Copies of this chain bind each other. A is one copy, B any other.
Amino acid sequence: MAEAHPPKKGLLLKADPIAGTFRDEVKSALEKTSQRPKLVGILSTTSAPSKNYAEFTRKQCEELGVEYVLKEVGAAVSSDLAEGEGVEEAIIEANEDPSIHGIMVYFPIYGGQQDQYLQQVVSPLKDVEGLHFKFHYNLYHNIRFIEPKSLLASTNAPLTQSTADSEELPVGSVKSIIPCTPLAIVKSLEYIGVYNKILPYGDRAYGKTITVINRSEVVGRPLAALLSNDGARVLSVDIDSIQEYTKRPKVATSESAAQRYHPRHIVHPTNMSLQDCLAMSDVVISAVPSPTYKIKTEWLKDGCICVNVAADKNFEKDVRDKASIYVPAVGKVTIFMLIRNLLRLQQYQQL
């Protein structure tokens, strides 16, 4: 019976149905807000991807009933002006404008350190992208709840309450903000069923081995931390090294690491190769910004789940010969995470 043969190719899962599950949630939350939230996007370059993303943000906001204002500065306004000129001033102005609830800046502008500086200039109370140091700190330390006032009250507020060895997490009244792209990936994995809802909250990825290719502060490192804080064994791959992120170390690098389960992930170096990692991974997530970088399909574990986060396709065309599910992009989910963050921050601003 031909019908009994398994399908030859894995499932191609586009982001639309995943995004769809958040549309109702966001729409209903928007209906309950006393004031229509206002998001400002700051564009300071002539980058086509940034312009397209700004346009995409505008459309999504308008469709959902969020006010979106595009503030163009520098090279985005005139070829007489430099890329990034006026961007810091525009951020400060938006920080100070009480009518604005959220700020997103279209990166890259300068690339590297100077962009990371600019991410700190955005007030954490308006940082819908979750790129401020405070949010990364909370994420790396598995601090899930905060006091909204702590966002302005003290740079290192959580420091005194949670050290690496403490089992106690500070009890806050609201959720910390999680960077949009890593969060969109986690939500996509929840949709796919990688997160097991039968397991307790905070440990629902237990039992899963996940390779994350990229270790930037914007995508790969926060993602590896999120997944391992949720119980997964994560193999974090970058151009120089491979690290293991886990709450349950299998390979002990010190006695204390072997002896106990950690309240948050710890990081070990590993001698595994990329091929070793892929061979044992239930999920492979790649975010390498290069059109020539390709993950060899033959190295994948049969039936794994592959998620491409890069603008370029990091998987080969035949990826579904091995992958049971392939998600080619998550951008449409990311925008809903951004609007969820906007709604949260609008609330926090009123507390």
Instruction: Flag whether A349 is at the interface (Cβ < 8 A).
Output: no
Does A56 touch B at the CB level, under 8 Å? no
Q: Which of chain A's residues 64-105 have a Cβ closer than 8 Å to chain B?
A: 80-82, 85, 88-89, 92-93, 95-96
The residue on B at minimum CB distance from A215 is B114
A254 with B80: CB separation less than 8 A: yes
Q: Mark A113-141, 1 if CB is under 8 A from B, else 0.
A: 11011001101100000000110110010
- Please name all residues of chain B whose beta carbon is closer than 8 Å to the beta carbon of A120 when the two chains form the complex: 120, 133, 137, 155
Instruction: Please choose the segment from A3-11, A44-52, A156-164, A286-294 that sits at the chain B interface, where 4 or more of its residues have CB less than 8 A away.
Output: A156-164
Q: Are the CB atoms of A269 and B82 closer together than 8 Å?
A: yes
User: Chain A, 202-225, contact with B by CB distance < 8 Å: what is the 0/1 string?
Assistant: 000000000000011110010000
Q: Do residues A163 and B124 form an inter-chain contact, with CB atoms below 8 A? A: no
Q: Is the CB of B113 within 8 A of A253?
A: no
Cβ-based interface call for A154 (8 A): yes
Nearest CB of B to A152, in Å: 5
Whether B156 pairs with A154 at a CB distance below 8 angstroms is: no
* Residue A268 lies at the interface, judged by CB distance under 8 Å to chain B: yes
**Across the interface, do A137 and B121 meet the contact criterion of CB distance under 8 Å?**
yes
Q: How many copies does the complex hold?
A: 2
Taken together as a complex, chains A and B put the C-alpha atoms of A273 and B267 apart, in Å, by 45
List residues of chain B with CB within 8 A of the CB of A116. 113, 116, 217
A243 within 8 A of B: yes
Instruction: Report the minimal beta-carbon distance from A78 to chain B, rounded to whole angstroms.
Output: 9
Contacts of A117 in B (CB 8 A): 133, 136, 217
Report how many residues on chain A are interfacial, defined by Cβ distance under 8 Å: 46
Q: Which residue of B lies closest to A83 (CB)?
A: B269
Cα distance, A201 to B242, chains bound together (Å): 51
**Contact among B95, B137, B155 with A159 in the assembled complex (CB-CB below 8 Å):** B95
**By the criterion CB–CB under 8 Å, are A114 and B217 in contact?**
yes
Given A117-B133, A254-B80 in contact, is the A123-B267 Cβ separation under 8 Å?
no
- A112 vs B254: C-alpha distance in the bound complex, in angstroms? 27
CB pair B154 A221 closer than 8 Å: no
A165 to B90, CA, bound (A): 12
> Which B residue's beta carbon lies closest to that of A90?
B164
**A153 in the interface, Cβ–Cβ < 8 Å?**
yes
* 23 pairs, A vs B, C-beta closer than 8 Å: A80-B253, A81-B253, A82-B267, A82-B269, A85-B268, A89-B163, A89-B164, A92-B163, A95-B156, A112-B112, A112-B113, A113-B217, A117-B217, A120-B120, A121-B159, A123-B155, A123-B159, A134-B155, A152-B154, A152-B155, A152-B156, A154-B154, A155-B155
